[in-house]
Amino acid sequence: MEENTLIWIGNTFFYIFLFFILFFISKQLFLNRFKKIDVNNELTTKDNVAFSILTTGYYAGILIIFLGVIQGDSYGYLIDTFLVIIYGIIGNLLLLVSSVINEKIVFTKKFSLFKEIVRDENRGAGAIEFANFIGSSLIIYGAITGKSTNFFPELSNIGLFISGLISLIVFWSIGQFILLVFFKIYPSFSKYEIFKQIEKDNNAVGVVYASIFISIAFLYAQAIKGDIISWLLTIENIVYYLGLGFILLPISRWVVDKIILPKSDLTHEIVHQEIPNQGAAFIEAFAYIGSAVLISFCI
């Protein structure tokens, strides 16, 4: 076996092992966030699918953050380990903070996520929390890929590392604000009362709402990823990507509706039937997420 092949295999096992370390740390932080909940009981004894969806979103988010950290050039095993642990822990904390924001600010007067997911096992609410974790992790991924402007050039690599952390916090905060604004204004433009539908265990509405959330987060992440040449240019990218998203996502949804269901209507299928059509919800979700991916690759 060639030496290069052995090195490649060794690197592969090293980074997989490194991810498992981060995964273990993430589990402890997750358990601490939901310490009032018997997680094992929810996932096994109760077979709570809603909480399983939430949990899956969290751990998928951890994987996305890990991939963002290791993307690009390697700095050697020691420094790579340090970066994965530091950015992994900070990313974990930001994910959990976004969960608190979602619970305490967005839904506090609408309904209790704890009640909907743990007591009522509402899968629609679980889908929203899933999207919250995925969306926030995409934002973190975008913020940590590429090189940041070094605010402390006199500190050399240490200054670059500190600047990277500052950029992460700033872009995550901007992203959370954008998503928070979206959460606040989108229901007023909807043809139905989203939160009431979710409270009625309309899982289809939860899937649609979650897909739009992920789409917006994905476009924002695409706008901020890569090396920061100038902060002004990055802000312009954000406006450009999200502006196109807000215009084209509804159009794409209408086009998909007319092509796939020419004799029906997605809103009717998802809301105005006795049993909401979850299949139609996944079609609408594809329209939003697929359009966001298409927009990002065409820009």
Per-domain boundaries in the chain = 13-298
Residues 270, 205 contacting (CB under 8 angstroms): yes
**CA distances from residue 5 to 8, 12, 74 in whole angstroms, order as listed:** 5, 11, 17
- Name the percent of the chain lying above pLDDT 70: 95
Report the predicted TM-score, pTM, of the whole model to 2 decimal places. Answer: 0.90
Cα separation, 41 vs 60, whole angstroms: 21
- Of 141-150, 215-224, 274-283, which one has max mean pLDDT? 215-224
3-state helix, strand, coil in the chain (%, to 5): 80, 0, 20
Per-residue pLDDT tens over the stretch 98-153 = 888 877 776 655 556 667 888 889 998 899 899 999 999 999 999 888 777 777 77
Cα separation, 2 vs 75, whole angstroms: 23
CA angle 245, 290, 60 (to 5 degrees): 100
Cα separation, 221 vs 238, whole angstroms: 9
The mean per-residue pLDDT over the stretch 230-257 comes to 86
Residue 29 confidence class, pLDDT cut points 50, 70, 90 = very high
The reported pLDDT for the residue numbered 298 is 85
